[in-house]
Chains A and B, each alone.
Chain A
């Protein structure tokens, strides 16, 4: 079971790496855009469109990993009065609820991508990007979040710490 949790954690970290790559690409692309528009009177025709796609990856691909880091916000005001065993049970119940919800959302965004593929939908920007590709990345991002929730639930069942915290600048 521990090996399974380890594999799930690695997959979630891979999601965070995709988000990081998206972040780096966005920054580089927009810095280049500022330089080219200011000094060369040239604008990258894909800049606006792809900044949106990169944003989607940044916001969601690392969500599963963030969950494992304790980075998502929750209200613990009542739970702090519950004893340790009750707290673990409440956490497990809420993790299951979240998992059901995220499976629903994942299936909805995956269907959306499949629909775009079947209809041959393309973006209205000059690049005419097939929309199913960035939508599939978004669906994959939600799958990472599903896996993060599975890992969390398994940890709770096994009595392991549910998440870890590191240095954070979370608002």
Chain B
């Protein structure tokens, strides 16, 4: 291990374990390493770098998609998702539990945040299913698992961050995430179906059948959401709008939806904007810190050193990717997904690309892997969201999410064995 890499590893452990905020830790390590090993004007380099990242045009989509999610979070979307989807799943084994999966998949298509997806869908489904006698463990597990789909289905904030850091097309990443996202949702539904057939006591009875008129009425409640999804995703994929324009259209659509529901008061707008600012500030600090550290590491030659070190171990591409999978799974137990991406990417991406992997594929692989970090204790944001909704302990919710975590591992293995799952769609659309 080289001097700079040793120093960075020690400082990173010290700062993070000591409780220094992740963004500050990244800045501090970058500054200390450059001051120690390089004879440059670090303050000028730092100021230029912060200015460059803070005004990077490719990041403009970030606040817009967050704003859209915040607006929709405050509408009656969660109620509409439940009443719109419930009549269509009553015959499936597992019944209303599928609303968790389908609701999260739909909300994920209009929100980039996994925690927002979990909170929006969970705040209505948990109460409804509990009152009907569904098993608490299955309710929480399915919600925890399905909430993470928000990372894969576009517009996804982690995919935007990955695209900016890896300097690859965000649209390609958005397209690449669709098939794995839908496969993951299908796998969750199949699992729920099997468990419900094996243990029927875990779910409630189907309840009375509904008329076609009622079903159509229920579906009409979903119409605005479906329109919004079509507008955003359709405009991007059909080439009518860039990702930024699609995000602006999304904000407009969400605002119209909120206005129709009478959710456009000054107070709600203020809280919506503050919610957006809070999330953007959190991401901004980590992202600029990571971009600075990544450039500092490049100046110190660390990615090359690590790549040479790994190369000398003569690992095959398959072994390398399996090692990375375990590395990210372990890291996910201690760090949140976003921090994991920004801190490791400067080192891991060159390795993976040198081993012959497609950076778009690696983005999807990475996102699925860090999705698990959302539902593994002690730092899993979705666990905290579900805790606030159910009142159960983090460990109990995490235990309920274990089977769904296992399904995600299965998806990662599928992605390794069949990389076309992520690469086929972007290649065929482009």
Contact = CB atoms under 8 A, between A and B. Distances in A.
A131 B60 CA distance: 19
A158 interface: no
A51 B60 contact: yes
Nearest to A112: B47
B278 A69 contact: yes
Contacts of A63: 281, 284-285
Nearest to B59: A55
Interface in B162-183: none
A127 interface: no
B208 interface: no
A34 B273 contact: no
B280 interface: yes
The B interface is mostly helix, strand or loop, or mixed, namely helix
A98 interface: yes
A31 B43 contact: no
B225 interface: no
A125 to B, nearest CB: 11
A97 to B, nearest CB: 6
Contact of B282 (A19, A66, A80, A94): A66
In the complex, which of the residues A24, A62, A65, A134 has the most CB atoms of chain B within 10 Å of its own CB atom?
A: A62
A94 B17 CA distance: 11
A148 B228 CA distance: 38
B19 A94 contact: yes
For this complex, into which size category does the number of interface residues on chain A fall?
Answer: 35 or more
Chain B, interface size category, equals 35 or more
Interface in B294-337: 334-337
B51 A112 contact: yes
B54 A56 contact: yes
A20 B247 CA distance: 17
A53 B57 CA distance: 9
Contact of B19 (A58, A65, A75, A171): A75
Interface in A61-90: 61-63, 65-66, 69, 71-80, 90
B211 interface: no
Contact of A62 (B114, B277, B381): B277
A19 to B, nearest CB: 4
Given A66-B278, A71-B278, A98 B54 contact: no
Given A52-B56, A60-B284, A167-B275, A108 B46 contact: yes
Nearest to A116: B51
A-side interface mostly = helix
Given A55-B59, A108-B44, A75 B22 contact: yes
Contact of A170 (B16, B59, B62, B279): B279
B158 A23 contact: no
Nearest to B53: A59
Interface stretch (B24-32, B358-366, B413-421): B24-32
Contacts of B47: 108-109, 111-112
Given A102-B24, A104-B31, A27 B281 contact: no
Given A59-B281, A71-B278, A169-B73, 14 more contacts: A26-B60, A52-B56, A52-B60, A59-B54, A59-B63, A59-B280, A59-B283, A73-B338, A74-B19, A74-B22, A98-B20, A104-B43, A111-B43, A168-B279
Interface of B: 15-24, 27-28, 31, 43-44, 46-48, 50-51, 54-57, 59-60, 62-64, 66-67, 69-70, 73, 113-116, 119, 157-158, 241, 244-245, 247-249, 251-252, 270, 273-288, 334-339, 378-379, 381
Going nearest first, the 5 A-B pairs with the smallest beta carbon separation are A59-B284, A52-B55, A112-B47, A20-B273, A62-B277
Interface of A: 16, 19-20, 23-24, 26-27, 30-31, 33-34, 48, 51-53, 55-56, 58-63, 65-66, 69, 71-80, 90-91, 93-94, 97-98, 101-102, 104-105, 107-109, 111-112, 134-135, 138, 167-171
